[in-house]
Amino acid sequence: MKKFSTEKGVVLPLNRANVDTDFIIPKQFLKSIKRTGFGPNLFDEHRYLDKGEPDSDNSARPLNKEFVMNQPRYAGARVLLARENFGCGSSREHAPWALDDYGFRAILAPSFADIFFNNCFKNGLLPIVLDKEVIDGLFAEVEATEGYQLEIDLDAQLVRKPTGEEVPFEVDQFRKHCLLNGLDDIGLTLEDSAAITAFETTWRTKSPWYFTLSN
C-alpha cells in the first residue's frame, strides 16, 4: 500500500450531503477487472453532460461547466472537502480507487459511511472527520480564496491552513501506523497464522455445522 506522510494540495469543495458511491463512480465502470484507471470517471454523471461508458474517449466528452470540479481554479486538487455521510451506499472499492486515481490523497468531512471509510484506509487515502463548524469554515475559506491549499500531516494529526492555523484530527492509531508505513493488512494478519489455525480447530470442534459446505 502507498505510504501517507504529509500531503499538501489544492482543496476541492463538494458542497453536497450524502454523496453516495453511485455518485462517486457509476456502475457501468465497475465492470473493469482492474484496480486502476477510474480517475477520468470520478463523479462521472456530474462531471460530464453525456452518459459515459467504459470505452468512451473521456477527453472528447462534453464537460458540465457548472460542476465544481470543472472550474479551472480547482485543477489538480489533492484534498476533497465534503459534507455529511460521504460515501454512503454500496461497498464498491472502486469509489476510493477513483478518488485515488484522480489524485486525491485526503477527504475532509463531518461524517463518512462506514464501509467507504474503511475502504479508504486500504488504499492509502486518508478520510478525516472534523466538526461540522470546522467544515463550514473551510468551505467559506476555500470558496473565498483561489488556489486555497491545505497541508495534511498524518504523523502530527494536524490539518494546516494557509494562515498557519492548525486543526487537530483523530485517527485510529493502528490505521495511522499502517498508513505511515504503507503496511499490507494481509501480511500483518498472516503473522497471526498460528492463532487463526488454533481458533479454527477449536471452532470446528465446537460448531462443525459451519464447515459443511460442499457440493
Q: What does the binding site for another protein look like in residue numbers (CB under 8 A)?
A: 15-18, 20, 22-23, 26-28, 30-35, 45, 51, 54-55, 83-85, 88-93, 96, 111-115, 118-119, 122-123, 172-174, 185-186, 188-190, 192-193, 195-196, 199-200, 203, 207-215
Minimal distance in Å, beta carbon 26 to another protein?
A: 6
Minimal distance in Å, beta carbon 4 to another protein?
A: 15
Contact between 83 and 14 under an 8 Å Cβ cutoff? The reply is: yes
Minimal distance in Å, beta carbon 1 to another protein?
A: 9
Residue closer to another protein (CB basis): 10 or 130:
130
DSSP state of 157: T
Minimal distance in Å, beta carbon 42 to another protein?
A: 14
Query: Could you report how far apart the first and last alpha carbons of the chain are, in Å?
Result: 37
Beta carbons within 8 Å of 138's beta carbon, 6+ residues apart = 11, 13, 81, 108, 130, 150
CA distance 42 to 111: 20
Residue closer to another protein (CB basis): 149 or 157:
157
Contact between 21 and 89 under an 8 Å Cβ cutoff? The reply is: yes
Cell 487515502 -> residue:
125
CA distance 10 to 181: 24
Minimal distance in Å, beta carbon 38 to another protein?
A: 11
The number of angstroms, rounded, from the C-alpha of 209 to the middle of its chain's C-alpha atoms is 39
CA distance 187 to 167: 33
Residue closer to another protein (CB basis): 10 or 139:
139
Residue closer to another protein (CB basis): 10 or 113:
113
Residue closer to another protein (CB basis): 45 or 153:
45
Residue closer to another protein (CB basis): 55 or 164:
55
Minimal distance in Å, beta carbon 147 to another protein?
A: 26
